Every structure is written in C-alpha cells, then in structure tokens.
Structure 1
Amino acid sequence: MSDESVDATDAHLRGIIDEYMGAFEPDPEETVGLRERILQIVREDAALAPATKLTTERGNPFRISTAEVRGIIREAVDTVPGIRARSVTATPTGDPEGSAVDIDLTVTMSAGTAFVSAAEDVRRRVAGALTAHLGIPAHRIDVTVEDVFVDEEAADD
C-alpha cells in the first residue's frame, strides 16, 4: 500500500469514526486510543493478501489466504499422473456461506492420458485435500483441460 493510499484510507476512516462518535456520546476514558486501534486493525487487514472466507462445520467463520487455498488444490492436482494444475478458482458456498467450496480449475494433460478417469482422480484428491487441510468439503469440482502436452519421460519408455 502506498503512503498516499494509506493517508486517503486513514482520512476516510477518521471521517467514519468521527461521524459515529458524533452520534454516540461515549465516556471520554473509553475512547482513548479507540480511533488509532481501529485504524491499526484496518491497516493490518488491508496488508493481508486476498483471503477466502470459510466456515467450520461448527459454524465458526475463518479466513485463509486465497493463495494458500489454491496451493492446496494445485498440490493435490499435481499428484495425479499425467495432469498438471493451471488456474484455480475456489468459491465459498454452502449453508452457512463458506461451509463448502466450489472449485473451477483448468489443467494440462499428458497426451495419452484417459481424461475421464484422470478427472475423477483429480476430484477425489482435491476433495480429500480440502477436507484434510481445511476441514471444508468440496461442493462442486469442475475440471477443464486447457492444453495437452507430450510427457518426454513416457515417450522415452
């Protein structure tokens, strides 16, 4: 975040806080440092990478870096022989929101790989990884082949 955007954000938040404080007459002792604490929390939140909001099976919301979620999924996909992960999108879903996740991913596939069985293997491994790492089930996992490659090691056999 640039200094200019921090200053603009601080000014905007100060205005919101001042408006709130004008409508609410708190005890002056209770407000010491309140504004700075709120700004600190917002700055810390803004400094975090984009996050995916999920919900545990007990209904407790939590946030995890979107890059971490994508990494878990990519790692699971890359364990399937002849398949390599490309793009990954994880969308929180379920009731309550975030108690499950919809996955859209693109992959590259080795020439000669049977797509239908490989896609089912991808779905099983991704679903297992999401449950094992996040405790969140996959609601839907869509797999699209974006490209086909020649596996040099398989071609040499």
Structure 2
Amino acid sequence: MPFVPATELQDHVGKHLGHSEWITIDQERINQFAECTGDHQFIHVDPEKAKLTPFGSTIAHGFLSLSLLPKLTENLMLMPTGMKMAVNYGLDSVRFIQPVKVNARVRLGLTLLEVTEKKPGQWLLKARAELEIEGEEKPAYIAETLSLFFV
C-alpha cells in the first residue's frame, strides 16, 4: 500500500493510481460465492444450461466481481501516513456493464477522485474503480468507492 502524508493526498486527485494484478475468475470461485450468498441461479453454477444462453458459459455474479475490490485495491489505494485503520465507507455508484465469463482474467484500474477531511484525522477518499476483462473493450463494472482512513 502506498503511504503519503495526509497533507499530500489532495495532490493525487485526478490521477490514475495504477492497475492490480490479473486474477482468473474460475468456476470454483463462482460456486463458492454462490454457496456464501445462496444465489445459485443457473447462469452462475450450471455450465450445461449456461451454454444455451447468449453468454455461452457461466458468468460470475456481479456482486462477486464487486466483492474483489478490497483485494484488488490493496496495492493501489493511497493511504495517509500514520494510518491506524481503514473502513469501507460504501459506494456512490456502481454500473455493471458486462458480465465476467468463467475463466476470464480481470484486473482493476483505480483513479483518485476526491479527498475530504471529514473530522480531524479522518480522511475520506473517493475513487473510480474500473474492472477490466482481459481481451474485452468494455469493463465489467465502473464503481465510485469510498474509503475512510483514521490517522
């Protein structure tokens, strides 16, 4: 995680913070997510039925791809020096643009949009997160994430 003095966070607004590593979304991960959430819709967990859909295969749950945000941002998001803890503050928006097919590789691009000092020692960072699908023109989703850091 890149650390910068809190007074310098504002200097990074509007800047692209980089890309995560590529990860593969395999059927085992999709099935595990279905077990955790109880969402066993055939388009996610039944490869034979899913072959008959316009997608031609199973696809990851949209919320599965969204749930990867903490992992994919861990080496990208700026953190204020001296941070004691960070919490997920939510999302301002999410748009699922296209599904992630089984065995696709994805990575996250992150751009810092806003920095706000909510209270002394509490910094709210808003970022644009775009989940790219290898070989595809359109991303899986674009989200505006909110992270609250305590210094």
What TM-score results when the alignment is normalised by the length of structure 2?
0.30
Higher relative contact order (CA 8 A, sep 6+): 2
If you compute each CA radius of gyration, which structure gives the higher value, 1 or 2? 1
Higher helix share: 1
